Amino acid sequence: MSEIKINTSQNVEIERTTANVGLRMAAQIIDYFILFVYIMIVIIIVGLLKIESSALIFIAILPVFFYSFIMEALFQGQSVAKMILKIRVVKLDGSQPTLLNYFIRWLFRIIDIVSFYGIIAIISIAAGGKGQRLGDKAAGTTVVSLQKKNYLKNSMYRSINENYKLQFPQVELLQEQDIFTINEVINHYYKNPGMQARQLLIKTKEAIQLKTGIETTLESMEFLRIVVKDYNYMIRHDEY
Average pLDDT over residues 4-13: 54
Of 127, 145, 163, the residue at which a domain comes to its end is 145
Query: What is the per-residue pLDDT for 42?
Result: 93
Q: Same domain, yes or no, for 18 and 113?
A: yes
* Measured CA distances, 105 to 69, 90, 233 (Å): 8, 11, 38
Full domain range(s) for residue 49: 3-145
In the chain, the number of structural domains is: 2
Angle between helices 147-158 and 220-238 (to 10 degrees): 90
Residues 91 and 10 in one domain: yes
Both 128 and 165 in a single domain? no
164 and 109 share one domain: no
Q: Each residue of 181-195: pLDDT tens digit? A: 888 888 888 888 888
Indicate whether 108 and 92 sit together in one domain.
yes
Do 74 and 29 fall into the same domain?
Answer: yes
Please compute Rg for the chain using Cα positions.
22
Residue where one domain finishes, among candidates 114, 145, 176? 145
Asked whether residue 122 falls in the same domain as residue 18, the answer is yes
For residues 52-75, one letter each, b for 16 or more C-beta atoms within 10 angstroms of the residue's C-beta and e for the rest, the string is: eeeeeeeebeeeeeebbbebbbee
Query: Is residue 184 domain-shared with residue 70, that is, in the same domain?
Result: no
pLDDT in tens, 117-158: 688 888 888 777 788 999 999 999 999 888 754 444 444 444
Cα separation of the two ends of the chain: 36
Residue where a domain stops, chosen among 117, 145, 173: 145
Whether the full predicted model's pTM is greater than 0.95, yes or no, is no
Residues 127 and 110 in one domain: yes
95 and 106 part of one domain: yes
Q: Would you call 78 exposed, middle or buried from its count of C-beta atoms within 10 A (0-12, 13-18, 19+)?
A: buried
Answer yes or no: do 64 and 131 share one domain: yes
* Same domain, residue pair 118 and 222: no
What are 44-58's pLDDT values in tens digits? 999 999 888 888 899
